[in-house]
Structure 1
Amino acid sequence: MIRSSKKRPVRKRTAIPDLTGGARKQPSKGTVARASSPLLPLSATRLAILDEGGATDHQFRQLLHDFSTLGASLELARAHLASLLGLSSPQYNIAMILANHQHEGGIRVSDVAKRLHVSTAFITSEVGKLELAGLVSKRPNPSDGRGVLLRLTDKGESLVQRVGPERQRVNDHLFGGLSAKSFRNLSKTLAALIDDFAYTMSLLKFAKVDQSGTIIGYEDGQKHLQHSED
């Protein structure tokens, strides 16, 4: 259980080795390619994310470290909540989305996949496990004779309600330092990055690497990318 405290301890940031780098698209207007040190080139070339007009990348590098730490911490918190219900983290995520749409009569598999930024095949597989556990039910989608809507069963609803207080405590602590304005700005910023991150991950999937481990180009993955979006 997480207990509230009147004062939040101030912790010094610990330096973490930067593991970023690699090839990227050719720099466009508003980019720079100067080195921040004789040994290490800049981590990026876009002026918008560099310091001092492109002279250094210190703030960007710290952002990467902080981003990684936040992501890992969020996953640990999610795993904690999921463990209280005897679920995996992906199953917990699905259950929470279904709970938020329970009053609507259910939600489509494709809509769950979009919210979690994963494939419909993955959602179908995890939902199958939840269905076997008696936590999720399916019913025909009245607006689509071929599709189904997912809902929590009574057992699933009871399970989700049980973790409610702990879920609130965890999230209140994780985001306790945000004002309403900073929360809205953060939400917009993260939403804007989703497509860029997804595209980059898909691009890396088709990277061509030589025997020395150097990326020498990218295969034509546009057909695969289009297929994954359908």
Structure 2
Amino acid sequence: MSVKKQPRKTKNSEPFPPLSTSLKPFLVNGRDQDFRKMIYGLLQVSSMMLKAREYYGAYIGVTAPQYSMIVAIAEAGEATVRDLTKIMHVSSPFVTAEVNKLIAAGYLQKRTNTKDRRSIVLSLTAAGEEAVRRVAKMRLIANDMIFGSITNDEAKVFQHLIQVLITDFGRAIHELEAPHWWTDGETGAN
């Protein structure tokens, strides 16, 4: 028999741990236990996706972020460093360093951007294209296993929700970076 745990009470009779959301769709009887389980599930999915990306990269002899850059360029045909920073949500110096390694390894080539001579346009070399072809079967099998239980209707909702979460995460990160959380002695640090 499963016993539902009741939140502990602190000295001032507030539930502990404090709620991590106040959004009604995620509260059951005023508690956010199911919401926290969902967050832990998302973190597990994120970790497993990153692990799969590590395997894909290792299979073709590159790091996981380098794999993502190669695939992003393959999908777009060509890309700038700025394009890759947006797709991967990482810094420009990081992308530049990894791109230089991929150029040295023979996976990427660069040319001056005719629209903006300050930037470069990246594309795959024949070796880069071959690497994408080599990992394709592995990626296809894994993705089919990962997403195979999702119906057509669920896939549409899932894709929509991912876009909503990307937008909302962007807003939340912007808020978390706001100075009022980190100035005037208001930080949560002791």
Whether the TM-score (by the shorter chain) exceeds 0.5 is yes
* 2:35 maps to 1:45: no
Match of 1:190 in 2: 162
Render the CA deviation track for 1:101-134: whole Å, top value 9, x for unaligned.
22xxx22221121111222222112101101111
Report matched runs for 1:115-194 at 5 Å.
115-194=87-166
Amino acid paired to 1:99: A
**Residue 80 (structure 1) shift:** 0.8
Higher helix share: 2
8 A contact 1:136–1:153 mirrored in 2: yes
8 A contact 1:91–1:127 mirrored in 2: yes
Cα distance in 1 for residues equivalent to 2:28 and 2:173: 26
**Residue 184 (structure 1) shift:** 1.7
Aligned length: 176
Amino acid paired to 1:208: W
Amino acid paired to 2:49: L
> Equivalent of 1:96, from 47, 71, 74?
71
Cα distance in 1 for residues equivalent to 2:152 and 2:33: 28
Cα distance in 1 for residues equivalent to 2:152 and 2:80: 31
Render the CA deviation track for 1:176-219: whole Å, top value 9, x for unaligned.
111122112112112112233234345445543899x8359xxx
Cα distance in 1 for residues equivalent to 2:66 and 2:136: 16
What secondary structure does 1:168 align onto? Answer: helix
Distance 1:49 1:209, change over 3 A: farther
CA RMSD after TM alignment = 2.6
- Structure 2's unaligned 5+ residue stretches are 1-12
What secondary structure does 2:110 align onto? Answer: strand
Cα distance in 2 for residues equivalent to 1:193 and 1:130: 31
Report matched runs for 1:52-63 at 5 Å.
52=29, 55-63=30-38
What secondary structure does 1:163 align onto? Answer: helix
Amino acid paired to 1:187: Q
8 A contact 1:138–1:150 mirrored in 2: yes
TM-score (norm. length: structure 1): 0.68
8 A contact 1:208–1:215 mirrored in 2: no
8 A contact 1:113–1:120 mirrored in 2: yes
Cα distance in 2 for residues equivalent to 1:66 and 1:141: 42
Cα distance in 1 for residues equivalent to 2:112 and 2:19: 54
Cα distance in 1 for residues equivalent to 2:22 and 2:144: 37
